[in-house]
């Protein structure tokens, strides 16, 4: 280890203070996001629809975008049927929690994740061996097939869907009152209360908190994976599959892994979606939803987890905030995508690879220190 330690590359060290600052900023941001449904801020809040419900939707999209970012952004696999995994997650919770069983909620989540991951492996195993275009077509078909099966299967209750999907068990600890604003003056709204954590029908806040927590956990996992052999293998495979293979990367295995991770996260967010809705039917799982997910990742900047999150906010939040323009939603999206493709083809937040390289060498410096001490 002395070779590396004795060989400090220029710019290896980002000052510890700046790293600390960054971490502190992220913590503040997270706290702010947790507080958002209570703060009900004037400009951010959505006047035309329930702000807390909007927040939940945005968070769901963000989680999905993180998952799709692994598949599309890291491994470079164009998955046009991501909604399929979302639907599988949602239906698993519905089927085994209400329609054909009464499993406890957390077990349902585990089951949903297992089934969607397994379906990802099943779908990926034959299709990831062929080149990119085929994958796009097959996944496109997959997404539609899942919806059509749900629509036509009696066992899945067809178009009627499933009612009484179990909610997460509530742990009622204390009540908080959200703020309400008169112009720019805040009042505590005594008419409304959020019970921490009561998963009920009306108040979406606890669901939002749950999804936000899941997002943070997934983010940690995402960072750890990307800054490891796994992330490098994905990136190399995306850059030049043949060169990667000839340099000892089992590309198929890593592509399948990315696909399965994507299915895992897609299924998870689908399951949480079903739990929040209380009832599901095949209708929302249309191909347009896949496209919207894809748009979130592409707009944000594929390959950048923060970009994917920003993209999800753009795709899910802006239309709710500007309801008055909702009629032109698709048109505006189209124009925005065109502009983006022309002026910023990498997305709003393209991956900053140079910075990452420095972080990697910094991390190894820490490892070396740790090894030297241990």
Partner 1 sequence: MAETTLSSTPAPAAGASPLLRMEKVTLRFGGVVALDDVSFEIQQGEILGLIGPNGAGKTTCFNALTGVYQPTSGQVVFDGLPLGRRKRYQINRMGIARTFQNIRLFQNMTARENVLVGADAHHRTGVLSALLRLPRHRREEAEGHRLADELLELMDLAHRADDLARNLSYGEQRRLEIARALATKPKLLCLDEPAAGFNPVEKQRLMDLIRTVRDRGNTVLLIEHDMRLVMGVTDRIVVLEFGKKIAEGRPEQIQNDPAVIAAYLGVEDDDA
Site string for partner 1, 251-270 (x = CB under 8 A): x-----x---x---------
Which of positions 188-227 make contact with partner 1 (CB under 8 A)? 221, 224-225
Does residue 11 bind partner 1 (CB under 8 A)? Answer: yes
The least CB distance from residue 292 to partner 1, in Å, is 27
Contacts of 305 (CB under 8 A, 6+ apart): 66, 69, 219, 222, 223, 226
Transcribe 203-247 into DSSP letters: --HHHHHHHHHHHHHHHHHHHHHHTSHHHHHHHHHHH-HHHHHHT
Does the footprint of partner 1 cover residue 249 (CB under 8 A)? yes
Listed in sequence order, the residues at least 6 apart from 314 whose beta carbon sits closer than 8 Å to its beta carbon are 296, 299, 300, 348
Nearer to partner 1, 63 or 150 (CB): 63
Site size toward partner 1, by CB under 8 A: 45
Minimum distance, C-beta of residue 140 to partner 1, in the bound complex (Å): 27
Distances (CA, A) of 16 to 19, 20, 21, 272: 5, 6, 9, 38
Q: Which of 3, 185 has the CB closer to partner 1?
A: 3
Residues 203, 346: Cα–Cα separation, whole Å = 38
Residue 179 as a binder of partner 1 (CB under 8 A): the answer is no
Candidate list 13, 129, 329, 353; residue touching partner 1; CB under 8 A: 353
Give dist(CA 338, CA 136) in Å, integer: 21
Compute the Cα dihedral for 305, 307, 311, 317 and give only its sign.
positive
Regarding 145 and contact with partner 1 (CB under 8 A), the answer is no
Output the CA torsion sign for 314, 319, 325, 326.
positive
* CB-CB contact of 352 with 303 (8 Å): no
Residue of 59, 146, 233, 272 that binds partner 1 (CB under 8 A)? 233
Of residues 185, 191, 354, 373, which one binds partner 1 by CB under 8 A?
Answer: 354
Q: Which one among 80, 162, 236, 292 touches partner 1, defined by CB under 8 A? A: 236
Residue 373 is a binding residue for partner 1 (CB under 8 A): no
Residue 360 interacting with partner 1 (CB under 8 A): yes
Task: Report in angstroms how near the CB of residue 246 gets to partner 1 at its nearest.
Answer: 5
- Report whether 253 contacts 74 (CB < 8 A): no
Only one of the segments 129-137, 162-170, 243-251, 322-330 lies at the binding site for partner 1 (rule: CB under 8 A); that segment is 243-251
Do residues 116 and 88 touch, judged by C-beta distance below 8 A? Answer: yes
**Burial tier of 112 (Cβ tally within 10 Å: 0-12, 13-18, 19+):** buried
Q: Say whether residue 118 binds partner 1 (CB under 8 A).
A: no
Residue of the chain from 25, 48, 246, 337 that contacts partner 1 (CB under 8 A)? 246
CB atoms within 10 A of CB 99: 17
Nearest-approach distance from CB 256 to partner 1, in angstroms: 12
Interacting residues toward partner 1 by CB under 8 A: 1, 3-4, 7, 9-12, 221, 224-225, 228-233, 235-236, 239-240, 242-251, 257, 261, 353-354, 357-358, 360-361, 363-364, 367-368, 370-371
């Amino acid at each position: 280890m002395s070779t590396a330690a004795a060989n400090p590359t220029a710019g290896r060290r980002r000052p510890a203070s700046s790293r600390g600052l960054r971490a502190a900023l992220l913590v503040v941001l997270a706290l702010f996001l947790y507080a958002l449904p209570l703060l009900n801020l004037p400009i951010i809040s959505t006047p035309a629809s329930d702000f807390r419900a909007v927040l939940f939707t945005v968070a769901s999209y963000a989680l999905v975008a993180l998952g799709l970012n692994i598949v599309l952004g890291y491994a470079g696999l164009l998955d046009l049927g991501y909604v399929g995994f979302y639907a599988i997650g949602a239906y698993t919770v519905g089927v085994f929690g209400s329609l054909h069983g009464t499993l406890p909620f957390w077990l349902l989540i585990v089951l949903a994740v297992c089934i969607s991951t397994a379906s990802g492996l099943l779908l990926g195993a034959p299709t990831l061996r062929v080149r990119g275009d085929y994958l796009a077509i097959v996944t496109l078909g997959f997404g539609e097939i899942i919806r059509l099966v749900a629509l036509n299967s009696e066992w899945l209750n067809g178009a009627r869907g499933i009612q009484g999907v179990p909610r997460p068990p509530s742990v009622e600890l204390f009540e908080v009152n959200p703020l309400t604003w008169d112009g720019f003056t805040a009042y505590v709204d005594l008419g409304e209360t959020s019970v921490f954590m009561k998963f009920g029908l009306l108040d979406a806040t606890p669901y939002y908190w749950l999804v936000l927590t899941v997002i943070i956990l997934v983010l940690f996992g995402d960072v750890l994976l990307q800054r490891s052999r796994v992330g490098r293998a994905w990136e190399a495979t995306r850059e030049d599959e043949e060169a990667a293979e000839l340099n000892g990367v089992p590309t198929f295995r890593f592509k399948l892994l990315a696909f399965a991770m994507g299915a895992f996260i897609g299924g998870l967010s689908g399951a949480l979606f079903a739990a929040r809705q209380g009832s599901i039917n095949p209708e929302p799982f249309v191909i347009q939803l896949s496209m919207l997910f894809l748009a979130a990742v592409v707009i944000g900047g594929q390959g950048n987890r923060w970009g994917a999150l920003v993209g999800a906010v753009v795709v899910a939040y802006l239309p709710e905030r500007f309801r008055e323009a909702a009629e032109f939603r698709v048109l505006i999206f189209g124009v925005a995508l065109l502009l983006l493709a022309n002026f910023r083809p990498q997305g709003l937040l393209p991956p900053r690879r140079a910075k990452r390289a420095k972080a990697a060498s910094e991390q190894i410096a820490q490892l070396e220190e740790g090894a030297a001490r241990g």
